[in-house]
Structure 1
Amino acid sequence: MLEKITTKLRMVNVGAVKPEHFNDSSYEDLKEIYELVNRKDNFSPSEMQAIVEEIGNLKK
């Protein structure tokens, strides 16, 4: 899921988002982000920033 999210958002620093950075308790939240990212084709810069911030908040 994380690889798909980083690819779709064209994130440059993909090393900052690795599966080992997240607890199992973050799975449902990451799944929601994944589903959101898959529903849309384009993201505004503010949407991208909000998604990346939310992913950062889920890290251990």
Structure 2
Amino acid sequence: MHNLEEPNRENLEYMIDSIKTKLRMASGAAMQPSHFQLDQYEDVKDLYDHVAGKQNFSISEVEALVSELGRLRTSAT
């Protein structure tokens, strides 16, 4: 079990991979955990908490979440 209150690379990678799996992202290969920086940990954790807390997502919700991940990814490079 991960202690996600502790910002570290392993937890960041776990959260990104979990989000991709839960959203069944077709373009998941393009969204690598290495594209995110630790200074974005809280933003990624907020997304993770939201995704982990829901069973189903509408298409528009998935698009919005993927867009937010993309925004975080873009600002990380």
TM-score, with length taken from structure 1: 0.93
The aligned amino acid for 1:22 is F
Structure 1: 5+ residue stretches without partners? none
Aligned match of 2:30 in 16, 19, 25?
A: 16
Partner of 1:54: 68
Q: Which has the higher contact order (CA 8 A, sep 6+)?
A: 1
TM-score, with length taken from structure 2: 0.74
The runs of at least 4 consecutive aligned structure 1 residues that moved more than 3 Å come to none
- Structure 1 or 2, whichever has the larger Rg, is 2
Identity %: 47
Report the number of matched residues: 60
CA RMSD of superposed structures (Å): 0.7
Structure 2: 5+ residue stretches without partners? 1-14
